[in-house]
Structure 1
Amino acid sequence: MANRTWLITGVSSGFGRAMTSQLLAQGQTVIGTVRNIQKVQDLVEQYPQTFISKTLDVTNIANIHQLMEKLTQDYQIDVLVNNAGYGLFGAAEELSDAEVDRIIATDLTGSIQMVRAILPSMRAQGHGRLIQISSYGGQVAFPGNSMYHAAKFGIEGFMEAVAQEVAGFNIGVTIVEPGGARTEFRYGSAQVAKMMPAYEGNPAHAFQRMLDPANGLAPGDPQRMASRIIESVDQDPAPLRLVLGSQALQSTIDTLEKRVADFKRQTALAASTDFPAGE
Structure 2
Amino acid sequence: MDTNRRSKRNWLITGVSSGLGRAVAREAALQGRSVVGTVRNRQDAEIFERDVPGARAIVTDLMENDAPGDVVAGALDLLGQVDVLVNNAGRGFTAAVEEASPAEIRDLFELNFMVPVAMIQAVLPHMRRQGDGHVVNVTSISGFKPWSGTGVYCASKFALEGLGQALAQEVEPFGIKVTNVQPGSLRTDFNGRSLGTSRQMIDDYADGAHFARRALARSDGKQPGDPQKAARAILLAVDAGNPPLNLLLGTDAVMMANQRIAALLLDMGRWGGVSETIGFDDPAPIS
TM class, shorter-length: over 0.9
Aligned structure 1 segments of 4 or more residues deviating by more than 6 angstroms: none
- Does residue 106 of the first structure (1) align with residue 140 of the second (2)? no
- Cα shift readout 1:128-174 (whole Å, capped 9, x = no counterpart): 01100011011101111111111111110010000011111111111
Partner residue in 2 for 1:67: 71
Partner residue in 2 for 1:30: 35
Partner residue in 1 for 2:24: 19
- Cα shift readout 1:80-113 (whole Å, capped 9, x = no counterpart): 0000000010112222222111100000111111
SS class of match (1:204): coil
- Does residue 163 of the first structure (1) align with residue 155 of the second (2)? no
Partner residue in 2 for 1:243: 248
Gapped regions of structure 1 (runs ≥ 5): none
Partner residue in 1 for 2:101: 96
For the 8 Å contact 1:140–1:255, the answer to whether it is kept is: yes
User: Amino acid of the residue matched to residue 73 of structure 2?
Assistant: E
User: Amino acid of the residue matched to residue 91 of structure 1?
Assistant: A
State the percentage of identical aligned residues: 35
User: Amino acid of the residue matched to residue 134 of structure 2?
Assistant: R
User: Amino acid of the residue matched to residue 36 of structure 2?
Assistant: I
- Does residue 125 of the first structure (1) align with residue 125 of the second (2)? no
For the 8 Å contact 1:72–1:121, the answer to whether it is kept is: no
Q: How far apart are 1:70 and its partner, in Å?
A: 4.2
User: Amino acid of the residue matched to residue 65 of structure 2?
Assistant: I
For the 8 Å contact 1:7–1:80, the answer to whether it is kept is: yes
For the 8 Å contact 2:191–2:220, the answer to whether it is kept is: no
- Structure 1: distance between partners of 2:91 and 2:278: 42
For the 8 Å contact 1:72–1:118, the answer to whether it is kept is: no
Q: How far apart are 1:220 and its partner, in Å?
A: 0.9
Report matched runs for 1:1-279 at 5 Å: 2-3=5-6, 4-45=9-50, 50-72=54-76, 75-213=80-218, 217-277=222-282
Gapped regions of structure 2 (runs ≥ 5): none
The structure-2 alpha-carbon separation of the partners of 1:47 and 1:147, relative to structure 1 and needing over 3 Å to count, comes to closer
Q: How far apart are 1:12 and its partner, in Å?
A: 0.2
SS class of match (1:94): coil
For the 8 Å contact 1:199–1:205, the answer to whether it is kept is: no
For the 8 Å contact 1:144–1:205, the answer to whether it is kept is: yes
Question: Which moved further from structure 2: 9-18 or 31-40?
Answer: 31-40
For the 8 Å contact 1:182–1:217, the answer to whether it is kept is: yes
Q: How far apart are 1:232 and its partner, in Å?
A: 0.9
- Structure 2: distance between partners of 1:167 and 1:61: 28
For the 8 Å contact 1:14–1:185, the answer to whether it is kept is: yes
Q: How far apart are 1:56 and its partner, in Å?
A: 2.4
Question: Which moved further from structure 2: 114-123 or 32-41?
Answer: 32-41
- Structure 2: distance between partners of 1:29 and 1:82: 17
Superposition CA RMSD, Å: 2.0
- Structure 2: distance between partners of 1:242 and 1:236: 15
The structure-2 alpha-carbon separation of the partners of 1:229 and 1:92, relative to structure 1 and needing over 3 Å to count, comes to same
- Structure 1: distance between partners of 2:277 and 2:17: 54
- Structure 2: distance between partners of 1:203 and 1:24: 43
For the 8 Å contact 1:138–1:153, the answer to whether it is kept is: yes
TM-score, with structure 2 as normaliser? 0.90
